[in-house]
Chains A and B, each alone.
Chain A
Amino acid sequence: MAIKILIPTPLRPYAGSKSIIEVNAQTVGDALGELVAQHPDLRRHLFSEDGKLRSFVNVYLNDEDIRYLGKDATPAKGTDTIAIVPSVAGGR
Chain B
Amino acid sequence: MALKIHSALLDQLRFHGEQTYPYECCGVLVGDFDESGGKTVKAVIPCGNTRTDSPQNRYHIDPLELVRIQREAMLSGCDIVGFYHSHPDHPAQWSATDLADAHWTLCSYVITSVEKGHAVLTNSFQLQDQEEAKHFDDEVIEVDN
Distance (whole angstroms) from the CB of A42 to the closest CB of chain B: 12
The reply on B11 being an interface residue by CB < 8 A is: no
Are A6 and B104 interface neighbours, CB within 8 A? no
CB-CB nearest in chain A for B131: A45
Count CB-based A-B contacts (< 8 Å): 101
The reply on A63 being an interface residue by CB < 8 A is: yes
Interface size class of chain B, counting residues whose CB lies under 8 Å from the partner chain: 35 or more
Provided the pairs A10-B106, A58-B63, A91-B57 are in contact, do residues A83 and B71 lie with their beta carbons within 8 angstroms?
yes
11 cross-chain CB contacts under 8 A: A6-B70, A10-B106, A10-B127, A19-B79, A58-B67, A60-B64, A90-B101, A91-B59, A91-B95, A92-B24, A92-B57
Q: Give residues in A with beta carbon < 8 Å to B.
A: 6, 8-10, 19-20, 45, 54, 56-58, 60, 63, 65, 81, 83, 85-92
List of 10 A-B pairs having minimum Cβ-Cβ separation, nearest first = A91-B58, A86-B103, A90-B98, A10-B105, A89-B60, A89-B101, A58-B63, A92-B90, A88-B61, A92-B87
